[in-house]
Chains A and B, each alone.
Chain A
């Protein structure tokens, strides 16, 4: 939308001095056509063909100089002898290549014509012959007498100058103070026209999304694609990074012309891929990708990145197989966890009473009443809780800034991106949150390493052989065969195949599994994220191994792993720590480290007994098994 600010500046400075609307707009309407054509309703419906004829021409277009054609009169394009008489004679089709005369500020007329565009098209993939033979799925889109230019063009409009010159938004009004010395009454319109005309040339004539809409008219039409043996390239474009950025309103994203028109060339000379001069010809593609505006310094292998990858139709490709692998892994990992949660809820619904060990409850109560015992029963130490909350914040930020890219075509995606001030800022936040997450992960690993060393030393002091192996398997989050066995016991219990519910130590197998998910996910997301972020470096290091497809593979791995993380956290973890009846409305473990008594008794009775033994409340019956 054209900046109101610019209009306001122009109006306020010169308008108030000279009379805002004193400029004679009829200068651009010498035949007085707008007397009638300003009415939107001036139209008719042909009952035989059902064709709608709109005769409306928005007077604001010329009154407010909204585009480069604003200074043209109607009869510069339409034949005066046909349209100056009422009722109009049969109007001949407009020939966009006809010459018109534009007068400059000093009144000198200059001939102007689009005839050369016609010549350019004849050298391009979109020749007049090709365009005139197009058969659309919905039937003819233009009537036979209309210009083929209408397939791509409507009345050109200037874009918001602030898109190109952000300072325009904050421009002080005195910038235009002296304009009226020369421009007199026309100052408001001239300053606005000048600003828009010049500034709009500094950005692409259309934002990437609108350009894709233009291309989609033909390139997403099933009949045209079939008759020209072409895939739906617009559909695949919007599944790429570039296309998704366009969907999210990023004007800097590469658009169709960025790749398909050589630098410095004209869009009307766009060539087919097979033409050796086309920037997307296999011979020139790498250099097109590596142009200074796009991915300078990247290895030539970057050209093998499939910008037009459409997974559903890429059967058998490496990318397709990787996606299937991730989907299967997601279902296999998320499915069982979800099943356990659902079966837990079934127990509540059917009112199944679990046999409760009153002895453990009594012990837990006693321990919780004692400051020392209570401290030992805290399953999460302060540094764990701090790490958890940092992870929570970073994870939330990563999801909010990353998922709009995954679901770029959903209505909420752009709104969410705009919360962060647009895609550019969302991307920066995503990158930095990712860096902090990886750094946090490394710090956590250092802590784990010292815990491991400490365990190993203890084992050595106790005279164990294979102390390091034993230390490793005694790490709190190690998933032991006992955990696997207990998980099956739990499943059997929840399926009513077993009476006794198994109990666990400090951490349940489900919690250990979640930890493993975070461990694996952070590494995978960190590595693939770094590859995608530093594509120019990565193309050198990994290009030889996978070619440019490393970026496709990284994208698939990153996006599907992120999805797994989100559904696991968003559905199961949120259930476990917030929605589960035993912890609702929020598990205190995340704040104080305390576990609710019921949960302690039911799920962590081994921890209760271990602490009770250590504090002498229970006899030391047997040595602790590794927890």
Chain B
């Protein structure tokens, strides 16, 4: 039934059309509500900005959010947390440190010993002779390698990725060095040479990221990718790479060594099943003394070695507790780590004997 001017009346509208109209109206209402919320939000934000532009005065983070103190708190923050660092080409180092660091030792997000709040990321502080050297190993090894009891000899260790705490193969820089030390394909084997080139470039790029993007490793990757795999330049690069790469074995691999758990096989990043004991200890850390404190600590450290491993347990010409070859160290690097000169130096330092560095031992010479 229509009105005289052709407009349908409500009675002529079928049920489906009424339903359609109702849905449409509901959608319109939701849309209008959302729109209103958006406009209100934007309007209030604009007014708030206007008022605060005259009422509040602050210095932008780009200027002030830089670390000025070298203290414990710095160890708990990553470089990226500092806005002032991020906006600078060459950000200045934290104030009390003169030398360029471009970052400091980063917190290991998966190390249960430090993340629990019990131990500092640089935990060794007692013996002056070795404390910095021991802390140095914290960038490439989990505490458990030296401090957790295991019967296995050599130690069953694996690498874990610092980005996700998951097991990973050996660090890219070690793999790349292994490739460089291997016998290169014959000059006329273009396919093999190209494969080697691609592998090296990929590994060096990964190694650069793992080491915090030092320009030298990236340069090396760039050079390997810039030359033809069959050229003489590539052969020369292989030779110079063999000398260059060991200079960057500085424990910054984007991965760390940890004892392996049996099943499922993975990194043992804290003493097993101790979460509750850790909480109990933290609750009573300040109040517990004597035997009760010892009991709490024993519960936290069920696998603690009575005596931590000694440097020369691994850095030795004899039977090392770490099977370096098994975890991806090329032979030349393994030899360097177990060289008699290094071992004697370590023993001398550990014994607290005064010594002068021999000039012929070059940094990271293979």
Enumerate chain A residues within 8 angstroms of B15, measured Cβ to Cβ. none
Stretch at the interface among B91-99, B264-272, B289-297, B316-324: B91-99
Query: Does A458 make an interface contact (CB < 8 A)?
Result: no
Complex Cα distance A249/B101, Å?
A: 23
A63 touching B92 in the complex, CB below 8 Å, given contacts A12-B226, A32-B359, A87-B349: no
How does the 8 Å CB contact mask read for B27-65 relative to A, with 1 for contact and 0 for none?
Answer: 011011101100110110011011101111111111110
Q: Is A53 part of the binding interface, using a Cβ–Cβ cutoff of 8 Å?
A: yes
Tell me if B356 and A85 are in contact (CB < 8 A). Answer: yes
Residue of B nearest to A158 (CB): B90
Q: Which of B120-128, B162-170, B172-180 has 4 or more CB atoms under 8 Å from chain A?
A: B120-128
Contact of B251 with A41 in the complex, beta carbons under 8 Å? yes
B252 within 8 A of A: yes
A358 touches B125 (CB 8 A): no
On whether A41 and B136 interact (CB within 8 A), knowing A84-B356, A86-B356, A341-B39, the answer reads: yes
In the complex, what's the smallest C-beta–C-beta distance from A504 to chain B, in angstroms?
22
A16-B237, A54-B104 in contact; A220/B63 too (CB < 8 A)?
A: yes
Residues of chain A within 8 A of B361, CB atoms compared:
32, 35
Determine which of A207, A338, A409 lies in contact with B60 in the assembled complex, contact meaning CB atoms within 8 Å: A409
- Please report the C-alpha to C-alpha distance between residue A226 and residue B90 in the assembled complex, in whole angstroms: 31
Is B5 engaged at the interface, CB distance under 8 Å to the other chain? yes
- Chain A nearest CB: distance from B225 CB in Å? 11
Q: Which of the segments A43-51, A482-490, A586-594 contacts the partner chain?
A: A43-51
Question: In the complex the two chains form, what is the Cα distance from A45 to B56 in whole Å?
Answer: 38
Known: A210-B88, A312-B57, A362-B5. A56 touches B43 (CB 8 A): no
B130 to chain A, nearest CB (A): 8
Pick out which of these stretches binds chain A: B67-75, B145-153, B184-192, B197-205: B67-75
Q: A35-B361, A58-B99, A575-B35 are in contact. Are A141 and B55 (CB under 8 A)?
A: no
- A52:B71 contact, CB within 8 angstroms: yes
Interface residues of A in 1-55 (CB under 8 A from B): 1-2, 4, 7-8, 11-12, 15-16, 19-22, 25-26, 29-36, 38-47, 50-55
Choose, from B239-247, B278-286, B299-307, B327-335, the stretch at the interface.
B239-247
Q: Separation in Å of the A577 CB from the closest CB of chain B?
A: 14
| Residues from chain B with Cβ under 8 Å of A408 in the complex | 60
Residues of B within 8 A of A22 (CB): 240, 243
Q: Are B223 and A64 in contact (CB under 8 A)?
A: no
Say how far B28's CB is from chain A's closest CB, in angstroms.
6
* Residue contact B102 to A409, C-beta cutoff 8 Å: no
Report the stretch among A146-154, A174-182, A267-275, A539-547 that lies at the interface: A146-154
- Shortest distance from the beta carbon of A432 to any chain B beta carbon, whole Å: 28
User: What 0/1 pattern do residues 4 to 25 of B give for CB contact below 8 A with A?
Assistant: 0101000000000000000001
Considering only CB atoms, which chain B residue lies closest to A356 in the complex? B7
Residues from chain A with Cβ under 8 Å of B309 in the complex: none
Whether a CB of chain B sits under 8 angstroms from the CB of A529 is: no
User: A327 — nearest CB in chain B belongs to which residue?
Assistant: B50
Task: Say whether B118 faces chain A, with CB atoms less than 8 Å apart.
Answer: no
By beta carbon, the residue of chain B nearest A151 is B95
**Are B54 and A323 in contact (CB-based, < 8 A)?**
yes
Report yes or no: B68 in contact with A138, Cβ–Cβ below 8 A. Answer: yes
Task: Produce 1/0 per residue, A64-94, CB < 8 A to B.
Answer: 1011000000000000000011110000001
Chain B nearest CB from A19 CB (Å) reads 5
Inter-subunit contact B99/A57 (CB<8 Å): yes
Supposing A30-B359, A312-B55 touch, asked if A213 and B88 sit within 8 A by C-beta, the answer is yes
Interface 0/1 of A98-142, CB less than 8 Å to B: 000000000000000000000000000000000000001011011
Q: Judge whether B233 is part of the interface by a CB distance below 8 angstroms.
A: yes
A87–B128 CB distance below 8 A: yes
Q: Is the CB of A2 within 8 A of B72?
A: no
Residues of B within 8 A of A369 (CB): none
Inter-chain contacts of A247 with B (CB < 8 A): 60, 62, 87
- Looking at A232-240, A421-429, A434-442, A530-538, the stretch in contact with chain B turns out to be A232-240
Shortest A63–chain B CB gap in Å is: 7
Nearest chain A CB to B261 CB, angstrom units: 25
Task: Say yes or no for A209: interface residue by CB 8 A criterion.
Answer: yes
Establish whether residues B363 and A238, one from each chain, have CB atoms under 8 Å apart when the complex forms.
no
Query: Does B154 lie at the interface of the complex (its beta carbon under 8 Å from any beta carbon of A)?
Result: no
Asked if A338 and B39 make an inter-chain contact with CB atoms under 8 angstroms apart, the answer reads: yes
Among A47, A310, A358, point to the contact of B7 (Cβ < 8 A): A358
Q: Which of A1, A26, A50 contacts B362 (CB 8 A)?
A: A26
User: CA A12 – CA B314 in complex, angstroms?
Assistant: 40
Q: Is B358 an interface residue (CB 8 A)?
A: yes
Complex contact A45–B54 (CB within 8 A): no
Neighbouring B residues of A306 by C-beta, 8 Å: none
Q: A36 vs B362: C-alpha distance in the bound complex, in angstroms?
A: 10
Give the docked Cα–Cα distance between A563 and B57 (Å). Answer: 19
- Using known A-B contacts A26-B362, A409-B62, determine if residue A210 contacts B92 with beta carbons closer than 8 Å: yes
A256 to B91, CA, bound (A): 17
Interface string of B245-261 (1 = CB under 8 A from A): 00100111000000000
Interface residue? A60 (CB, 8 A): yes
Q: Is the CB of B55 within 8 A of A142?
A: no
Q: Look across to chain A and name the residue whose beta carbon is closest to the beta carbon of B73.
A: A50
- Which residues of chain A come closer than 8 Å to B128, judged between CB atoms? 87
The smallest beta-carbon distance between B33 and chain A, in angstroms, is 6
- Which of A21, A143, A157, A560 interacts with B244 by CB under 8 Å? A21
- What's the Cα separation between A154 and B29 when bound, in Å? 61
* Residue among A54, A214, A330, A341 with most chain B CB within 10 A: A54
**Would you call B215 an interface residue if the criterion is a C-beta within 8 Å of the partner chain's C-beta atoms?**
yes
The 8 Å CB contact of B129, one of A87, A209, A238, is A87
Whether the pair B90, A210 counts as a contact (CB closer than 8 A) is: yes
With contacts A38-B364, A87-B352, A220-B64 taken as known, whether A1 is within 8 angstroms of B89 at the C-beta atoms is yes
The answer to whether A313 and B57 touch (CB under 8 A), given A35-B357, A52-B72, is yes
Which A residue sits closest to B89, measured CB to CB?
A1
A330-B101 Cα distance, complex, nearest whole Å: 49
Task: Mark contacts of B91-121 with chain A using CB atoms, 8 A cut-off: 1 yes-contact digit, 0 otherwise.
Answer: 1110111111111110000000000000011
Contact A45 B72 (CB under 8 A): yes
Task: Determine whether B313 belongs to the interface, using a CB cutoff of 8 Å to chain A.
Answer: no
Q: Confirm or deny: A472 has a beta carbon within 8 angstroms of a beta carbon on chain B.
A: no
Docked CA distance A567–B95 (Å) = 43
Q: Is there contact, CB below 8 Å, between B59 and A40?
A: no
Q: How far is the CA of A169 from the CA of B103 in the complex (A)?
A: 28
Given contacts A64-B216, A234-B63, contact A154 B132 (CB under 8 A): no
**Given A85-B355, A86-B357: A157 touches B100 (CB 8 Å cut-off):** yes
Q: Which residues of B contact A45 (CB under 8 A)?
A: 72, 75, 120-122, 125
A51 to B94, CA, bound (A): 12
- Roughly how many angstroms separate A19 CA and B239 CA in the complex, as a whole number? 8
Please tell me if the beta carbons of B29 and A349 are within 8 angstroms of each other in the complex.
Answer: yes
Contact B51–A327 (Cβ < 8 Å) = yes
The CA-CA distance from A101 to B136 in the complex, in Å, is: 32
Q: Which 8 A-B pairs have the closest CB atoms?
A: A409-B60, A41-B139, A312-B57, A348-B32, A235-B59, A41-B136, A21-B244, A50-B72
B residues in contact (CB < 8 Å) with A: 5, 7, 25, 28-29, 31-33, 35-36, 39-40, 42-43, 46-47, 49-51, 53-64, 66, 68-75, 84, 87-93, 95-105, 120-122, 124-125, 128-129, 131-133, 135-140, 214-216, 218-219, 222-223, 226-227, 233, 236-237, 239-240, 243-244, 247, 250-252, 348-349, 352, 354-359, 361-364
Residues of A at the B interface (CB closer than 8 Å) are 1-2, 4, 7-8, 11-12, 15-16, 19-22, 25-26, 29-36, 38-47, 50-61, 63-64, 66-67, 84-87, 94, 136, 138-139, 141-143, 146, 150-151, 153-155, 157, 159-160, 206-207, 209-210, 212-214, 216-217, 220, 232, 234-235, 238, 247, 249, 310-313, 320, 323-324, 327, 330-331, 334, 338, 341-342, 345-346, 348-349, 351, 358, 362, 408-409, 414, 560, 563, 567, 570-571, 575, 579, 581
Q: A52-B122, A154-B98, A209-B62 are in contact. List 12 more A-B contacts (CB 8 A).
A: A8-B226, A21-B247, A40-B250, A41-B139, A60-B214, A207-B89, A210-B90, A213-B84, A310-B57, A342-B36, A581-B31, A581-B32
